[in-house]
Amino acid sequence: MVVGDFPIELDTLVVGAGPGGYVAAIRAAQTGQNVTIVDKGALGGVCLNVGCIPSKAMIQAGHLTENAHGNEELGIKTENVSVDFSKVQEWKGKVVNKLTSGVESLLKGNKVDIVKGEVYFVDKNTVKVMDEKNSQTYTFNNCIIATGSTPIEIPSFKFTDRVIDSTGALDLKEIPKKMVVIGGGYIGTELGTAYANFGTDVTILEGTKQILGAFEKQMQQVVSKRLKKKGVTVTTEAMAKGVEESKDGVTVTYEVNGKEETVDADYVLVTVGRRPNTAEIGLEQVGIDVDDKGLIKIDKQCRTNIDNIYAIGDIVDGPPLAHKASYEGKVAAEVIGGEKSEIDYIGIPTVVFSDPELATVGYSQQEAKDAGYNAKASKFPFAANGRALSLNDSDGFMKLITREEDGLVIGAQIAGPNASEMIAEVGLAIEAGMTAEDIALTIHNHPSLGEITMEAADVALGMPIHTM
């Protein structure tokens, strides 16, 4: 007997349970909507399962390994440091499991219905959700698409056991003796640094003139200096050509300065970007506008050209950042709930967990000038900060970007330890419309890295204390 596929009626449907989707679902529920969230994979998406969280756990383990070798300058000597990498992976898994189970509890606590399966759009109010056994039709009033992205695969570097993406790099069973990283962006730099700290001989091949191309050259130079100290080989303007695999490793061929070179390794990690997951979910059935990169076009309220369908996260324009996706998810959910909300990206930070960390928010000086501001940059070095010196980690600087006529804070760039935490203060200043004087008048505890923000504000006011 064939059972009919009778449609199940929904109020708000969220497609994808990553940091954009699950946040959107929770906020939608908080605004009084009846919400159903669908994902074919684990709750938390790439970020919690095979991205942001496990990579930061791996980076932390790498830092601890590096520190365990001691520091002769500080009079600390150690011998016979060893790493049980299976234990590292076990601990990383516990961190991930704690967060993903927490997401499930939060969704259920906010009365969000969770459905497992793959979504295909039939029309502007209908989807089919399929799992391995069944297909179920759902109708909805509003929908938020948050399907995320996937690592780009280079045709000449098809993914295998030895040619890996970021997910594979986070799931290795042993610490490689040698690793080649293709792509010196934030993912390649972060994971390359983590494995270098574990003792891997790392080579980074970057096609452009510098690694971390989204950041100013001065910031990139601080990281490059530290990579060199770790023994990482960085080759820029290098074009990866192909790879030969053997039972025990790979040989990567690349071209630099018109000359073909090869490098042997245990693994080659390919990190050349991500592509949006929009190709096979039936968007053409609905007539949703998608650009030539596969990104869905949205307005300031995250609405697509179909008035009841919204899109957020990696599938829309902008950097593929988890916190950007969460922010957009809140906006879309609030708009559906009848609230006046719209996206404003000026306060969204970008962070790389390199060594040292890099962080930016708002405008750089050049970006501010291009936007029509009369802007100035006020710089303060970590080397002039007592806390940085006591940490024996004083490479780097902070640049505070302000408007000349009134000192309005419109941006910042930080290269140095704890940049990922420090950037939030400037983000708040931008969001609140604060000036350099407001920051300078805020008493920061001593000694702290946070004082660097206050000192940069003093520089902006023309009254620096701890720098000339």
Q: Are 351 and 423 within 8 A, CB to CB?
A: yes
Token digits of residue 283: 């968007």
Determine contact, residues 244/251, Cβ cutoff 8 Å: yes
Separation CA 431–CA 439 (nearest Å) = 13
Q: Is 93 annotated as a binding residue?
A: no
Q: Tokens at residue 25, please? A: 């679902």
**Closest alpha carbon to 125 in 141, 113, 145:** 141
186 in a labelled binding site: yes
Q: Is 147 annotated as a binding residue?
A: yes
Rounded distance, CA 44 to CA 31, Å? Answer: 21
- CA gap 453, 468 in Å, rounded: 16
Is 22 annotated to bind ligand?
no
Q: CA-CA-CA-CA torsion for 417, 150, 62, 48, nearest 10 degrees?
A: 80
Backbone angles phi, psi at 195, to 5 degrees: -70, -35
**Binding residue per annotation — 425?**
no
| Max Cα-Cα span within the chain | 85
> Six-digit token pair at 81?
């440091």
| Token pair belonging to 171 | 């799931």
427 marked ligand binding residue: no
Q: Determine if residue 190 is labeled as part of a ligand binding site.
A: yes
Has 446 been annotated as catalytic? yes
H helical segments located in 160-207: 166-169, 186-198
- Is 56 marked within a binding site? yes
Give residue 327's Cα distance to chain centre: 14
373 is in an annotated binding site: no
Tell whether residue 433 is among the known ligand binding residues.
no
Q: Is 149 annotated as a binding residue?
A: yes
Catalytic residue among 69, 444, 446, 466: 446
The residue among 276, 259, 223, 373 whose CA lies nearest residue 20 is 276
Question: To the nearest 10°, the Cα dihedral for 222, 225, 231, 233?
Answer: 90
Cα-Cα-Cα-Cα dihedral of 233, 238, 244, 247, to 10°? 20
Residues that are catalytic:
446
Q: Residue positions in the annotated binding site for NAD(+)?
A: 183-190, 206, 273
Annotated binding-site positions: 56, 147-149, 183-190, 206, 273, 314
- Which residues are known binding-site members for FAD? 56, 147-149, 314
